[in-house]
């Protein structure tokens, strides 16, 4: 259709799942846990989607799409959502820019209890969060600056702003807690920013500095005193040297300034700091 390209998709599936647990103590998986009631899930579902792009010129492309999503869960209703995106992509030489608006309308958001999340629930147990609206804007940009003596300087920026809120009120002390319509969904930061800048030489040396900034969030919808997660950031540095066409050696320093900000409130409102300063060395080999 000339400058316009349209892609249609449809998926129909039948599923029948059973979760087993074992008492072997090793990976043989031959001794079933006799006290565990196996979780099951079965059903059939169909989802559809449509995506379209339109070439404004050789560099600029408009993008739009609508997609249905479904994820089956054990002993409960499947997670379902209608998703859409709208934006553009720009490419010119080594420069790229992509801006996308996205939105997801969840008919049923599902949370899964895990050993690390804590709560009065069994690992693997699922809980319905009801209707949830998610929307936001994502920007991805990159370019390469050419310097002298065969050195290039790649730079990239990624920014995402997200608003995720419950559309219904309910109380579920085992997992979600007390939720009022309009509350924010836990653990979704208001924004995430990543900036990376580096160098690449003709002699095989390369290095990158990465700065990450996470906006504030909460560990529960009610967002009590010990459930807030303030904005935090960290910086990583990577140096790499190509020894030959197959072998690279590298060093990585993570969390350069050794920040100790709270990055999570789990299990049970316990404060977890971000990863401490860590230094790693290694090599990669291409066969």
Q: Give the model confidence (pLDDT) of 184-242 as tens digits.
A: 999 999 999 999 999 999 999 999 999 999 999 998 898 988 899 999 999 999 999 99
Q: Does residue 148 sit in the same domain as residue 217?
A: yes
Average pLDDT on 130-155 reads: 96
pLDDT of 39-72, one tens digit each?
Answer: 777 888 899 999 999 999 999 999 999 999 998 8
Q: Do residue 64 and residue 203 come from a single domain?
A: no
Strands (E), 39-189: 39-55, 60-71, 79-92, 95-108, 110-112, 126-128, 132-146, 152-166, 170-172, 177-179
Is the domain of 147 the same as that of 28? no
Please indicate, yes or no, whether residues 67 and 175 belong to a single structural domain of this protein.
no
Per-residue pLDDT tens over the stretch 88-137: 999 999 999 999 999 999 999 988 887 776 666 777 778 888 999 999 99
Output the pLDDT for position 78: 85
In a domain, 264, yes or no: yes
Identify the burial level of 166 via C-beta atoms within 10 angstroms of its C-beta, where 0-12 means exposed, 13-18 middle and 19 or more buried.
Answer: buried
For residue 117, the model assigns a pLDDT of 65
Q: Are residues 178 and 277 in the same domain?
A: yes
Indicate the number of domains in the chain: 2
**Dist CA 49 CA 146 (whole Å):** 41
CA–CA separation, 92 and 88 (whole Å): 14
> What's residue 249's pLDDT?
98
Tokens of 144: 């390469």
Report helix, strand or coil for 226. Answer: helix
33 confidence band (pLDDT: 50, 70, 90): confident
Q: What's the pLDDT at 32?
A: 82
CB 282 within 8 A of CB 273: no
| Together in a domain, 223 and 260 | yes
Confidence of residue 21 (pLDDT cuts 50, 70, 90): confident
Of 50, 84, 118, the domain-final residue: 84
Residues 139 and 194 in one domain: yes
Q: What is the pTM of this model?
A: 0.86
Residues 191 and 119 in one domain: yes
Range of the domain at 44: 1-84
More confident residue, 264 or 39: 264
Domain final residue, candidates 21, 49, 84: 84
With cut-offs at 50, 70 and 90, classify the pLDDT of residue 250. very high
| Per-residue model confidence (pLDDT) at position 90 | 98
Whether 268 and 170 map to the same domain: the answer is yes
Phi and psi at 195, nearest 5°, equal: -125, 130
Indicate the average pLDDT of the chain.
91
pLDDT of residue 189: 95
Phi, psi of 230 (to 5 degrees): -70, 160
Q: What is the CATH number of the domain that holds 255?
A: 2.40.170.20
In a domain, 15, yes or no: yes
pLDDT interval class at 258 (50, 70, 90): very high
- How far is the C-alpha of 258 from the C-alpha of 195, rounded, in Å? 18
Contact criterion met (CB below 8 Å) for 76 and 128: yes
Looking at the domain assignment, is residue 199 inside a domain? Answer: yes
CB 162 within 8 A of CB 181: no
């Amino acid at each position: 259709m000339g400058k316009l390209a349209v892609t249609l998709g449809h998926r129909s599936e039948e599923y029948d799942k059973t979760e087993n647990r074992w008492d072997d103590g090793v990976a043989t998986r031959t001794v079933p846990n006799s006290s565990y009631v196996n979780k099951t899930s079965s059903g059939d579902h169909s989802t559809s989607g449509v995506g379209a792009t339109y070439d404004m010129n050789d560099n600029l492309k408009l993008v739009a799409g609508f997609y249905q999503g479904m994820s089956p869960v054990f002993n409960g209703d499947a997670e379902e959502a209608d998703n859409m995106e709208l934006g553009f992509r720009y490419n010119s030489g080594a420069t790229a820019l992509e801006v996308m608006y996205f939105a997801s309308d969840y008919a049923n958001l599902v949370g899964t209890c895990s050993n690390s999340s804590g709560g009065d629930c069994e690992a693997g147990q699922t809980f319905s969060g009801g209707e949830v609206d998610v929307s936001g804007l994502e920007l991805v940009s990159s370019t390469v600056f050419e310097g002298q003596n065969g050195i290039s300087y790649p730079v990239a920026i990624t920014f995402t702003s997200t608003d995720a809120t419950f559309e219904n009120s309910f109380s579920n002390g085992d997992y979600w807690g007390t939720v009022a319509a309009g509350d924010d969904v836990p653990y979704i930061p208001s924004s995430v920013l990543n900036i990376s800048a580096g160098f690449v030489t003709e002699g095989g040396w390369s290095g990158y500095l990465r700065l990450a900034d996470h906006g504030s969030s909460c560990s529960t919808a009610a967002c009590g005193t010990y459930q807030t997660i303030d904005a935090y950031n960290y910086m990583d540095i990577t140096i790499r040297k190509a020894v030959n066409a197959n072998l690279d050696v590298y060093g990585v320093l993570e969390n350069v300034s050794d920040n100790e900000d709270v990055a999570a409130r789990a299990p049970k409102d316990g404060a977890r700091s971000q990863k401490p300063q860590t230094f790693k060395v290694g090599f990669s080999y291409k066969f």
